[in-house]
Copies of this chain bind each other. A is one copy, B any other.
Amino acid sequence: MKKSIIGVDLGGTNIRVAAISMQGSVLHRTKQSTDPEAGKDLVIEKLLQMLERSVQREREAGRRPQAVGIGAPGVIYVRRGVIVSSPNLPDWVEVPLKAIVRRRISLPVVVENDANAAAYGEKWVGAGKGADSLICLTLGTGVGGGIILNGRVWHGEDGMAAELGHTTVNPDGPQCKCGNTGCLEVYASATGIVREVKRRLIREDSILKTSFQGREDVFSARDVFRAAKAGDLVCLRVIHQMGRYLGIGIANMVNTFNPQIIVLSGGVTAAWRDFIPIVKEEVTVRAFKVPRIRAKIVRAKLGDDAGVIGAAGAALQAMKGRNHWL
């Protein structure tokens, strides 16, 4: 009987559940909207039912699911499988998701930070396939980080390592919701980019100001990227600033880890062409030569599947006895 792993990507917008082969390919995938405003209990029940159906579907296909890997946003106490808090799931505080899922689905369960999962997915079958050391930054609503060393996720003592979005790149920078100031996240996240454009619109002219008239607060990072491509100076400057701080963060990672590869994923990478030259310039000035030449900076490959593949991979890694958190 063939084996598979169930991967879950529990996002603020969608819940994705997929069956993943032992080689990292997607066997089947399902998706439902999360609707977090319906409350934690309903979301969990939805997730459990999706899981049950997925397990059932695998069995009907003649495969035996080995484990469940769940990637979730926010602060995850990986060792205990607890979601401590999550910006996209506001009423999820100290939720023992691993224990809850294990009780209903009789399979080993791993709850992993979604950014760690994405990093592992990219290392397993994505842009960093086969890399021994890889740093992944997910530039989305927030900025997440995943660290792969010796081919495995580095979790730290409490499973809370790799909060790379909350390392300081400018000590006197804007307030971050984590309590710190000048985190990488305030510059390199979609939220941060939109916030900075809005701040500048008070005094400066921009395509966005004109096209949105009195309703400046209804544009997204994607609108900013589009305006930048059309030559809008305010948007270009904000993306350049983003590139600068992202470059500072990446230079720090290069000098800290001397890794093989740095993978950037998430919606903000849509502006790749506008920010990557600035990033590379900054890394050239700030990082040592040998590790800088070593570390390739590349775009992620797995897209929407990164979460489910990576979460399944994390469960697979745990099953291989490489940690004791299963």
State how many angstroms separate the Cβ of A295 from the closest Cβ of chain B.
8
Check A160–B258 contact: CB distance below 8 A.
yes
Given contacts A75-B288, A167-B252, A170-B171, contact A154 B149 (CB under 8 A): yes
- A135 (CB) vs chain B CBs: closest residue: B256
Q: A156-B259, A294-B157 are in contact. Are A166 and B133 (CB under 8 A)?
A: no
Q: Which residues of B contact A245 (CB under 8 A)?
A: 171
With A291-B158, A291-B161 in contact, do A167 and B258 touch (Cβ < 8 Å)?
no
A294 to B: closest C-beta gap in Å: 5
Min C-beta distance of A297 to chain B, whole Å: 14
Q: Which residues of B contact A179 (CB under 8 A)?
A: 285-286
**Cβ contact of A157, chosen from B145, B159, B170, B258, cutoff 8 A:** B258
Question: Nearest Cβ in chain B — how far from A32, in angstroms?
Answer: 31
Contacting B at CB under 8 A, from A146-184, are: 147, 149-150, 154-164, 166-171, 178-181
Q: When the two chains form their complex, are residues A286 and B156 in contact, meaning their CB atoms are under 8 A apart?
A: no
Contact B154 A257 (CB under 8 A): yes
How far, in angstroms, from A158 to B259 measured CA to CA in the complex?
9
Interchain CA distance A65-B204 in the complex, whole Å = 71
A86 on interface, CB distance cutoff 8 Å: no
Is there contact, CB below 8 Å, between A161 and B260?
no
Chain B residues with Cβ under 8 A from A127's Cβ?
A: none
- Is the CB–CB distance between A291 and B257 below 8 Å? no
A300, CB-defined interface residue at 8 Å: no
Which of these, B154, B178, B256, B288, contacts A288 with CB under 8 Å?
A: B178
Nearest chain B CB to A174's CB is how many angstroms away? 14
User: Roughly how many angstroms separate A168 CA and B164 CA in the complex, as a whole number?
Assistant: 14
A76, B123: Cα distance in complex, Å: 28
Pairwise interchain contact A168-B169, C-beta atoms closer than 8 A: yes
* Given A168-B251, A251-B168, A257-B156, CB of A286 within 8 Å of CB of B180: yes
Find chain B residues with CB under 8 A from A158 CB.
258, 290-291, 294
Which B-chain residue is minimally distant from A179 (CB atoms)? B285
A170 — which chain B residues lie within 8 A by C-beta? 170-171
| B168 and A260 contact, CB distance less than 8 A | no
A168→B257 contact, CB < 8 A: no
Residues of B within 8 A of A294 (CB): 157-158
Asked if B180 and A77 make an inter-chain contact with CB atoms under 8 angstroms apart, the answer reads: no
> Is A248 an interface position by the 8 A CB rule?
yes
- Chain B residues near A244: list those with CB within 8 A: 171
Are A255 and B286 within 8 A (Cβ)? no
Q: Mark A48-85, 1 if CB is under 8 A from B, else 0.
A: 00000000000000000000000000010100000010
Query: Of A145, A157, A294, which is in contact with the most chain B CB atoms at under 10 Å from its CB?
Result: A157
Closest residue of chain B to A294, judged by CB? B157
Least CB distance, A250 to chain B, in whole angstroms: 11
Select A166's contact among B154, B181, B288, beta carbons within 8 Å. Answer: B288
The one of B157, B181, B248 in contact with A171, judged by C-beta atoms closer than 8 angstroms, is B248
Q: Which residues of A contact B (CB under 8 A)?
A: 75, 77, 84, 132-133, 145, 147, 149-150, 154-164, 166-171, 178-181, 244-245, 248, 251-252, 255-260, 285-288, 290-291, 294
